Structure formats: structure tokens, C-alpha cells
Structure 1
Amino acid sequence: MARKNSSNNNTRFLQIVSILRKYKVNEGLDPVKLRNILEELGPTFVKIGQILSNRQDIFSERYCRELMKLRSNVKPMPIETVRKVLEEAYHKPWDEVFTSFDEEPLGAASIAQVHAATLPTGESVVVKVQRPGIYETMERDVKLLRRAARVMNLSDAVSSVVDLDMVIDEFWETAKEEMDFTIEAVFAQRFKQAYKDCKFIDAPIIYTDYSTKYVLVMEYVDGLEINNHMALEQAGYDCKEIADKLAYNYITQIIDKGFFHADPHSGNLRIRNHQIVWIDFGMMGTLDAKEREVMREVVKAVGTKDVLTITDCILTLGNCQKEIDYMQLMWEIEQFMLQYVDQSFEEIDIAKMIQEVFAICHKYRIQLPKGVSMLARSMMTMEGTLMDLDPQCNIMKIAMTHKDSWRTVSTKDVLEKGVKKGARITMKTMDLPVQTSDLLRLAERGRLKLNLNVMGSAEPIAKVDRMVNRLIVCILIAALLIGSSLLCMTNMEPRILGIPAIGFLGFMIAFAMSIWLFVKMLFLHRRNKMF
């Protein structure tokens, strides 16, 4: 069995390498080439592309746009395979679990497929069944991709486009979460609990007694699709009102809960009994308190056109993959903000703004946290969903109208923050004498060090370093010439051409070093003239 698995792995590895060579990955990538490679490599890699299409801070906009075209063209599982997965999950025949089970799937994807069914208690449900062996298949493909990347030195070849190791790591972490249906069940229950008192928001019931890591059973939502405007109007719904309520709810997900639906397209929303019902919680985003506070600061800074604060917020949130020229980054953000100087919040195109911020982050290799990146992409999706419902709707306008916490906080919040800041200031003030004493003691002993990182200074320092090296070589040549000349005045044996051998050797070394230095300087001069 182990020999068979090894043979299968080797065959798959050779297949991956041959496809990469077919598209000449070592010669570089472009968006279409990358999409074609992922499609030909199969479902695991299509999933990688779909996940990465949401990370415009990692990929440029044109790559993300191309990767959005990826579709999981997978065949539905045979009903016999579905039956086997269910019986392994429940340890009994499937017809003892469900009184009816629709053999025709509602949908099929690379990880799972969905069927309609009925529980013995009479509830209509949706059953999400994971493909057997998908975890092992994806794990194998990830390992083989890492191996192929080392063999073909892909990290260097695609470094100008993306950090390959980081891409593989992020995909695998995300995929593992998606393949554990207990996580999705917890997300759905958490969301439903968070909005249990909201009259116009709902989520499906999760039947935990029937759900496992590989099978998820949830309430069947038979409402109207949110993009079916004709049906909504015939049922007496107002699309403008739905758009307003949906935008308001999404703002509360971000600001109040820090727990938001990361894929808010129309297919994941239904209207039922005058409620907006969110479905499919496989992709949820989270923001911690610090990230939410920084996001508030960003929005306030956009409103006041405060370039310095926007720059600082981006650097606070992001992980810089290279040294940043702070002044250059601030200048670019200032140029970006100039187009919004005369615009009110209601006029701001949030999707366009996010695209431009992503482009700046990508240029400066600033990688945003996963939650923030998911939020940015989901807000763009939400903007499209809202515009489809009501072309006049604007998520920023709704935020300002319905949720003033973007710009202000309550008196209680102000007092709490003031007390906390006062306590921190008091503690730091008490520490100042001790810290000052420690600094003076270190200075007295000559052990005080100051570390400076001067941005943009690498090239000047490198030039000084080269000048010092050439100066040292010149000194060595002079020392060899003087020393060899002095040796020529002695009667030291043996001799070469009448010169003491050691002196002759010194002349030769000095001559060789002089030629080397001359060629080096001539080459450098010519190269500088070219630029």
C-alpha cells in the first residue's frame, strides 16, 4: 500500500512539474498564464487561486481580476459515494437518519456538495457532504508543490509577483478551516446568536446532533433570492429598504461585533418573512479590538483628508515585507487622496478607493492582516450587492446615517478611555526616574547604544563601503611596493633577476592588485555612464 501511495505521489509530482515546465514558469508569470496553470493543475490549485483572488495586497489588481475567473469545474459525487460518507459519519444507514434525501445535488464544489433532505422530525434541511479523501489529496498536492518549487527554484522566478511560500501557507490554513465543518457550524451559530434580537436579520438553524467534521446539516431556507427584484416587488418588498437594512447590518457586523460575513454576494442572501437571511458561513472574517479601532481612525482620516493618519494606520495594520521610504509612501497616499478632496462621504466610491489602497500596499510590499484584507474585499462585494438592489445606495452614506460610531464615541466610551489613558500615563511617569537612572548608569559605563534605521540610506552606505575598500587596497599596494623596494637593497638569498625572491614576489602581487583595481574602477566608470 505504501509503495502504491509513493508511486502515485511520484506520478502526481511529475505531472505538476511537467505542467509548470509547459508554461515556462521559470521565465516569469502573467495573469492569464497563472490562471491557465492553476486550472490545468486541478481542484486543489483552483482553490488556491480562488482564495488568493481576495488578496489584492498580495497580488496586483490585474492578477486578482484574472483569478476571479477560476471556476471549480468538478463533477458531482456519485450518490453511492455520498451514501458511504453519510454512513461513516453516522455509523448507520443513511435512510435511518433522513426520511428523504434528494439524490440530485443542489450544488457541487471542490471540497463538498449540497443535497436537500428531510429529518425524521419533519424539518427540511440542507446537507453539506465533504468529498472523501479531499484533505489527504490537498495535503499531498501542497507538499508536492513545495517540492516542485524547490526543484525548479520557483521562489526566485515568481518573487516579483508573489511570495510563494506565504501563498502556500495561507492557502493551506484557510483550506483546513473550510474542510472542518464544525468550524462553519460554530460560525453560523455565533452569527445567529449575535442577531437573535434583530427583527430583520436571521441565519439558518444548525442541527448539531446531525453535524460532524465531514457533514453539516442546516435549516433549508426557502426565501426569495435577493437579486430577484421582480419576485421581491411582487411579494411586496421594497428593494431600497432592503439595501438600507443590509448595509446597516453589515456595518454593525464590522464595528460592533468584529465578526463579519466575508462573502456577501447575492447568492448567500435570502429574503424570508420580511427578514434578510444570511447563509453559507464557510468564509467569515474577524477583527480584534485594535484592528477595529484602527479602521475607525482610517474612516475618520478619510473624512478629514488626514494623509499622515492614513499612512500611519496602514503601517500599523500592515506587515512590511521590505524597508519603506516613509516620505515617498506618504506622498503617494496624498496623491491618492487628492481625488477625494471635494467629495463628501456619500459620493465616495468605496470599491474604487479600496482598489487604490490595495495597489499602494502591493507596490510597497505591505501585507495586511487576513481579517483586514478579507474585510476590504468583502466591502467591495457588498458594495456591488447593494448597488444591484438600489443604484443610489452607498455603504459609506449608510454608515454615517445609521452608525455615528465611525466618527464619534459615546460619553461612557470617552470616560473609560480617559481613565485608562490616565492610568497608563501615571504608571509611565512613575517609571521615568528609574528608566532615566538606568540610562545614566549605562552611559557612565560606556554601554549605552542607540540603534538607528535610516530609511533609504542603503545605497549611500554601500558606496562609502566600496570607497573604503578601494582605499585599503591602495594602501596595501603602496605598502607592498615600499617593502619590496627596501628588500631590494639587501643581499637576501635566493634571488630572481638579481632581486631577492621575497621582494620580487611583493612586486608581482602589487602589480597584480594594481591591474585588478584599475579594471574594477574602469568597469564601474563605464557602468555609471550607461545610467
Structure 2
Amino acid sequence: MIQKFKRMARLSEILFKYGFEELFDRSGIEKFIPNKIKQKSKKIENIKATSFPERIRMAMEELGPTYVKLGQMCSNRTDIFPPELIAEFQKLQDNVEPEKINIYEKIKNELNIEPFKYFKKIEEIPIASASMGQVFRGILKNGNEIVLKVRRENIKEIVAADLLVMKDFASNLEKVNEEIKKINLSYIINTFANSITKELSFRNELNNMERFANNFKNDERIHTPKTYKELSNDNILCMEFIDGFKITDIKKIKKCGFLPEEVAKVGLDLYIKQVLKYGFFHADPHPGNILMTENGKIVFIDFGAMGSLYPQDKELLESLLMYFIQKNIKKAIETIRELSVMYNVPDEKNFERELTEIVYMVDGNSLNEISLKDIFEKTRIILSKNQITLPEDIYLLAKGIGQIEGIGRHLDPSLNISKIMKPYANEISKKRLNPRYIFEKGSQKFAQVSESWLSLPEDLKSISQKLLNGELKHKHEVMGFKELQKTLDRLVTAIIIAALLIASSILVLSNIPPKINGIPALGFLGYAISAILGIIEIVKKNKKF
């Protein structure tokens, strides 16, 4: 709590210094700030000559690592922030002065070992220094070259205090400012808090590396740095040193005997595989985080920030991709609604028109002539304007694909992304036409129908009671009764479909021949009839509109 008040005082001092005292006045926090802090805060010279976005960036830099990281995350949200502010966020740098530490003493205290029993040598000057930690190079007793990532002292406590202050600040601003409430600032801060907390844990990064390595263990095109679990904990991460160069270094790629065009295809394919096959992808694949070795292996580094797609979200994304390809905008909107964490569209028809424009913009150009990054940006702006918030991992994915596309275009300006994505689109189509997939989905739908059926007696009892009391007639008159008839008709059809699904499932599980694609023919026929009845009901429902 003391740390929180210290960080609140520091935030107050910096915001007053850069002319943002109005934020405190609006949020109601000003009354908690001592006068001596206000008097102590001297405004920067030529404050009027410095633009509002520049002052925000300067304040974030002075406030330290938590705010720098927040700004870097916000640099992706072009759907929320204006271009001038995005440009300033993108200038925020994570490089800071090295922190002087005794690396041998640090290892001894953290891991409870004698360093010289495990390490032949550790360089005492870090090879890289960031806001959250430093990187030291070393050699193990067996001769293997390694790097040690060491977290900065007290950084965890500072970040925790900063997050508490940010949450209070966001909550108060949302109460007094409708625009801030619309962008859902509290959700952004909570998402950021979750992300930076994971990034602070080197144990979490080690687990990410092991999971990633396991996913690609049979792919010869990629290498994941080896980790040393026994020499790592939450504050120290020991891993293999990679002798490589940036994937965008065309001269080095050619010197090693490889074609930049082929490297671009492999890099993009590996990233698509992370997303569509494993649902676990690198959240910041900029050129500095993707290396290439002299033997042609691609190496992703820095696994602190990873994106994850839950099976349901992954399936919804696949559906969204297929609906956009089919130009089925209504179904695409239904999928977006299901995927969203917030959905408050003020005008559904206008939203549909805007998405249709995106689809036909893509349709009118070949994918190697347009930028996927631009498509994502336009889509994100449309979603934001329509008050739709997606899970943060979807935004990370959009950012990652944009970064990977940028690397691909740099290596091969004529890169045909559609050609690389085609096998994955075909795989999705095949999966959805597979009888086993249809059976699994049918079983899930049956479970949903069964659940609804179990609640039906109570619903019918409620309707009957209203009819006996005359309430239904009084409130809805003839129109209400007709709607009730239609509902009951649909209910009867749903019961028939459910019965067919139950019978078909029993036949499938009984494994009785003859079979079609490994599924008993009678069971397959039952599913087919259920599907036809379902389609008839959908057509009837759509005719109503």
C-alpha cells in the first residue's frame, strides 16, 4: 500500500509537470493530492510549443517501465487512438541504463547453488538491458554457450503498485467521461495488467518456450532455444545462446546460400501454423525477435508475450474466415457477436454495410496486391466505431500477422499470401465436411436441445398459467397467440430433430454395417434427414424477414 501511494505521488508530480492536471480534476482524484506535490511540480519549459501527444509520450517515459509498456501496447490500438498519438506511442523505447549487480551473487542467492560448479564463465556486463530485466552471456561447465535473463530488483513491486494506480485512475475517469467509458479503458488496463504480470514471470516464459518447442519438435525448418530448468526460476531464465542474424538481413541470407523469397514463405507458413494448428502464437514477431542461423533454421526468441486461442475462439475464427470467403456477412456478424467480450452495435444495418465493403474490397483485389495489415486496421476501426470489443488475443493476432506480413513483403515484395494460406483454408473445409466432425457437432447440438427440452415443462407450465389467467390474451391478443403457435410449431420440429439425432447417435455408436466413410449408413441417413429439417426451418425463419 505504501508503494502505491508513492507511485500515486510520482504520477501526480509528472502529470502536473506536463500540464495534465485537468485529468485529476475530472477524475476527482485531485482532492487526495497534497498541495506540496502540486507546488513541487514545475511545468516543462515551452509547454505550449509541445504537442499534446508528445507530452503524453514524454510523461510515460519519465514514469518508467509500466507506463512505457502500456504505451507500447496502445500503439497497436489504431481503432481507439488518433494517428498522432499512435506515432508517439511507437517512439517509446524499452532500452534503459544497465543496473549494476553482482551476477554471481545474484545466481547464488536466487538458485541456492555455487555458480562456479555450473558455469565456466559469466560476463558481468549485460549484452542487453531493458526496463524489466537484463541479459548476460555465459558458458556452462560442459562448454555450452548460454544467456541469462535476470529480472531487475524491485520491479515486480513497482509494477504492482502502478497497476493499482492505473485501475483506480481508469475507473474514476470512466465515471465522469462518456468517451473514455466507450473505449472501455478499464478493460484495456485489466488486459494490460494480465499481460505484464505474465511477462514479469520468467517461469512463465520458460513454460511458453517448452510448449512452443514441443509444438514444432518435428519441423526441421525451425529451432527453439533450449532451456535449463534447473538453472532457472521466476527471476532468472537460463537458455541456449543463439548465434544468428535478423531475418530481415537480405545480404546475410544470400551470403548463407538461401533465397529471401523462400525464407519469406517459410516464415509466414510457420506463423500461420502457430495460429491455425496450435492456437499458440508469438505475440510480438518483429524482426528483432526472429533470427535465422547460418544453416537456415528460423528461431523465434523472447517468449514472454504469447497469444493463446481457446478451442472455441479458434473455431469461431475459422468460421469467420469461411463466412468472409463465402461473403456470408449475416453469419459473419453472428460469429463476431459470439466472439466478442462487448457487443453494443447501435445500427446493425450500417455495421453490415461496412463489413460488406471490406469483403468486396478484398474480392476486388488479389491478396498479393493489398496489405493484410490495412484490412485488419479498417476492420478494427469498424468494430471500435460499433462499440465491439474482441478478446485481447485477437488484437495480438492482428498485430502479429501485420508484423509477419511486413517481414514477408521486405524479403519478397511479390509475396502471394493467398497461396500460402490456401492449404490451411482447404484443411478447415475438409475438417468441417468430415463425418466425425459433423457427428461431434451434432452431439453438442443434441446436448443443447436436451437441456432446452428439460426446461420445457416449466416454460409450458408458465405459458399455460398465463393462458388460464387470461394474461397472455390481455397482453398480446391475437398477435401473441399466433406467435405462440409458430413457436410451438418450431418446438415440435425441434423435438423431431432431437429424436432423430438421438436415434442416429445410438446407431452410430452401435457400429452396425453397412457403412459410409466409416459411419453406419442408417445413422448417416438420420443425420442427413435432421440436417434437411433444420435447413427447412432456417429457410422458413429467413422468409419471415
- Band of TM-score, shorter chain: 0.7 to 0.9
Instruction: Please tell me the residue identity of whatever aligns with 1:287.
Output: L
Name 1:361's counterpart in structure 2.
383
Q: 1:160 to 1:20 in 2, by over 3 A?
A: farther
Would the aligned equivalents of 2:431 and 2:437 in 1 still touch at CA under 8 Å?
A: no
Helix, strand or coil: the match of 1:76? coil
Aligned-partner Cα distance in 1 for 2:453–2:139: 72
Aligned-partner Cα distance in 2 for 1:352–1:107: 33
Aligned-partner Cα distance in 2 for 1:403–1:11: 52
Aligned-partner Cα distance in 2 for 1:430–1:116: 61
- Single out whichever of 328-337 and 50-59 deviates more from structure 2: 50-59
1:15 aligned to 10, 14, 17, which one? 10
Q: Deviations over 1:332-359 (max 9, x none)?
A: 2223333223223444421100001111
Would the aligned equivalents of 2:167 and 2:190 in 1 still touch at CA under 8 Å?
A: no
Q: 1:32 to 1:409 in 2, by over 3 A?
A: farther
Name 1:209's counterpart in structure 2.
230
Q: 1:300 to 1:154 in 2, by over 3 A?
A: closer
Aligned-partner Cα distance in 1 for 2:252–2:448: 63
Shift of 1:164: 3.3
Q: 1:205 to 1:193 in 2, by over 3 A?
A: same
Name 2:198's counterpart in structure 1.
177
Helix, strand or coil: the match of 2:466? coil
Q: 1:436 to 1:238 in 2, by over 3 A?
A: same
Aligned-partner Cα distance in 2 for 1:432–1:361: 32
Count of residue pairs the alignment pairs up: 440
Residue 69 in structure 1 maps to residue 91 in structure 2 = yes
1:106 aligned to 127, 131, 137, which one? 127
Name 1:256's counterpart in structure 2.
277
Residue 420 in structure 1 maps to residue 440 in structure 2 = yes
Name 1:231's counterpart in structure 2.
252
Shift of 1:217: 0.7
Helix, strand or coil: the match of 1:270? strand
Helix, strand or coil: the match of 1:409? helix
Q: 1:33 to 1:302 in 2, by over 3 A?
A: farther
Q: 1:77 to 1:338 in 2, by over 3 A?
A: same
Name 1:265's counterpart in structure 2.
286
Would the aligned equivalents of 1:59 and 1:162 in 2 still touch at CA under 8 Å?
A: no
Residue 26 in structure 1 maps to residue 22 in structure 2 = yes
Shift of 1:250: 1.2
Larger radius of gyration: 1
Shift of 1:160: 5.9
Q: 1:9 to 1:443 in 2, by over 3 A?
A: closer
Name 2:162's counterpart in structure 1.
141
Shift of 1:302: 2.9
Instruction: Please tell me the residue identity of whatever aligns with 2:279.
Output: G
Q: 1:43 to 1:427 in 2, by over 3 A?
A: closer
Aligned-partner Cα distance in 2 for 1:352–1:248: 20
Aligned-partner Cα distance in 2 for 1:433–1:72: 57
Helix, strand or coil: the match of 1:99? strand
Residue 442 in structure 1 maps to residue 470 in structure 2 = no
Aligned-partner Cα distance in 2 for 1:244–1:91: 46
Shift of 1:93: 4.7
Aligned-partner Cα distance in 2 for 1:429–1:365: 32
Helix, strand or coil: the match of 1:139? helix
Aligned-partner Cα distance in 2 for 1:296–1:30: 41
Residues 191-206 of structure 1: pairs in structure 2 closer than 5 A? 191-206=212-227
Would the aligned equivalents of 2:345 and 2:387 in 1 still touch at CA under 8 Å?
A: no
Shift of 1:407: 5.3
Q: 1:156 to 1:164 in 2, by over 3 A?
A: farther
Q: 1:286 to 1:270 in 2, by over 3 A?
A: same
Shift of 1:426: 5.0
Name 2:264's counterpart in structure 1.
243
Shift of 1:395: 3.1
Residue 372 in structure 1 maps to residue 390 in structure 2 = no
Q: 1:191 to 1:335 in 2, by over 3 A?
A: same
Shift of 1:24: 2.5
Residues 473-488 of structure 1: pairs in structure 2 closer than 5 A? none
* Stretches of structure 2 lacking an aligned partner (at least 5 in a row): 27-50, 473-545
Shift of 1:297: 2.2
Q: 1:313 to 1:35 in 2, by over 3 A?
A: farther
- Single out whichever of 167-176 and 124-133 deviates more from structure 2: 167-176
Instruction: Please tell me the residue identity of whatever aligns with 1:187.
Output: N
* Stretches of structure 1 lacking an aligned partner (at least 5 in a row): 450-531
Name 1:156's counterpart in structure 2.
176
Q: CA RMSD in A?
A: 2.9
Shift of 1:311: 2.2
Name 1:46's counterpart in structure 2.
68
Aligned-partner Cα distance in 2 for 1:434–1:192: 46
Residues 364-513 of structure 1: pairs in structure 2 closer than 5 A? 364-400=386-422, 402-405=423-426, 408-410=429-431, 414-424=434-444, 437-446=457-466
Helix, strand or coil: the match of 2:303? coil
Would the aligned equivalents of 1:16 and 1:145 in 2 still touch at CA under 8 Å?
A: no
Q: Deviations over 1:29-88 (max 9, x none)?
A: 9644432331232222111212232345554665444322211242111143x4443222
1:35 aligned to 22, 35, 57, which one? 57
Q: Deviations over 1:301-333 (max 9, x none)?
A: 332333223322322211226454222211222
Shift of 1:234: 1.2
Helix, strand or coil: the match of 1:221? coil
1:298 aligned to 314, 320, 325, which one? 320
Aligned-partner Cα distance in 1 for 2:107–2:269: 40
Q: 1:77 to 1:419 in 2, by over 3 A?
A: same
Name 1:341's counterpart in structure 2.
363
Q: Deviations over 1:179-235 (max 9, x none)?
A: 111111011111111111111111100111111110001111102321221111111
